[in-house]
Structure 1
Amino acid sequence: MGKRARQYIGLVVAVALYYTIHEGAHLLVALAQGVFKQINIIGLGMQIDVYAEQMSPQQMAVFCLAGPLATLIAGWAMVLFVKQICAIRSAVVKACAWYTSITMLMLDELYLGVFYRWVGGGDMNGIKLMLPEGAVSAVAIVIGVINMLIIWKILFPAYKKSFATEE
């Protein structure tokens, strides 16, 4: 399989895993709180809908924090196991892991740190019911910078070496 095909497959898998983990965490919290309403399919994505009127501000904040925390934990787990992942022989699996790692480590941090202001707020709308918006945004930016350094100093060299040994 060609490099470009592996990249496209890796990107599609990364997005699918992101939605599964992020929205799955929202779903688990909604079910645990007894407020799950439905799953909304929006374009190529999905959103967990809840009975918000039945939730306290703290419950809503926990619900909204669940997705970003789940993806962050998944990303850090992929960093922890990077040597084992890079030892896998399948270049497709490694490409999927590379793009998934970047997605898990950066997407929510970029969104909560910067982009939420221009696209409706999303999870930040609930998180700020319990935590100061500016502080959450600042923490997301700091975590994003740390994650960029992790990608640059740990993940990129490991994957570069792993893919170089195949060619």
Structure 2
Amino acid sequence: MRKYLYLVLALIIFAIIHEGTHALVAVAFDEYQTFVIHPYGLEVIFKTPVAEREGIKWGFISGMSNVVTLLLGYLLFLFRTKMKPVRNPIINALGYWMIVIFMLADAFNLSIGPFIYGGDINGIVEGFGINRYVIQSIFFMIVLLNRELIVQKLLPVYGIKTKHPLFQSWIKLK
């Protein structure tokens, strides 16, 4: 049960950082209205209705949170070997889950997520004028690369071994 507690805590930290970044960037563009907590997660409400949103600011409001969480994931990944020897099991477990979530969640959100629920990609497409399938393709490659990094570099640090095909190496990284 305790291991799931760390997963849930990592998800909460991720949601706060992701949605908090949306809120901070929205404040910078004077678009922040309120912050709502739903049973399924957090949501930032903006002043401008979705149908009226246009301009590059929406690319930044929608996209910056994805960049921030991915960069934090990579930063934590770089320190994976320094975090693991820490004798505190809470830091170890939380660090592991934060690396996994921060490296995969928003890459998934911008690659596969739009087929299911839309999400941040709509503001990025509107704001930057980039084709949605180009964005989805780039972030799908990031999902695959990050999955390989996790399988080949993170799991061994934490001594995790499995035969599950999703957690086996598909390509050899150096």
TM > 0.5? yes
Aligned letter for 1:67?
Answer: S
Contact 1:109 / 1:140 at 8 angstroms: preserved in 2? yes
**How high is the TM-score relative to the length of structure 2?**
0.84
Which one of the candidate residues 19, 31, 45 is aligned to 2:41? 45
Q: Report the 3-state secondary structure (helix = DSSP H, G, I; strand = E; otherwise coil) of the residue aligned with 2:56.
A: helix
Look up the match of 1:151. 150
Look up the match of 1:87. 85
Q: Which runs of 5+ in 1 are unaligned?
A: 162-167
- Give the CA deviation at 1:52: 2.2
Look up the match of 2:140. 141
Aligned letter for 1:16?
Answer: I
- Give the CA deviation at 1:115: 2.3
Find the aligned partners of 2:5 and 2:116 in 1 and give their Cα distance. Answer: 29
Aligned letter for 1:86?
Answer: K
Look up the match of 1:123. 120
Find the aligned partners of 1:93 and 1:147 in 2 and give their Cα distance. Answer: 21
Contact 1:71 / 1:105 at 8 angstroms: preserved in 2? yes
Aligned length: 156
- What is the aligned-residue identity percentage? 23
Greater length-normalized contact order (CA 8 Å, ≥ 6 residues apart): 1
1:72 aligns with 2:104: no
Look up the match of 2:167. none
Q: Which runs of 5+ in 2 are unaligned?
A: 161-174
**How high is the TM-score relative to the length of structure 1?**
0.87
Find the aligned partners of 2:158 and 2:5 in 1 and give their Cα distance. Answer: 16
> In the TM superposition, what whole-angstrom CA distance separates every residue of 1:56-96 from its partner, at most 9, and x where no partner exists?
42111110001111110110011111122112111122111
* Structure 1, 14-23 or 55-64: larger mean CA deviation: 55-64
Contact 1:9 / 1:96 at 8 angstroms: preserved in 2? no
Find the aligned partners of 1:65 and 1:105 in 2 and give their Cα distance. Answer: 15
Q: Which has more helix, going by share of residues?
A: 1
Find the aligned partners of 2:97 and 2:8 in 1 and give their Cα distance. Answer: 9
Find the aligned partners of 1:29 and 1:145 in 2 and give their Cα distance. Answer: 28
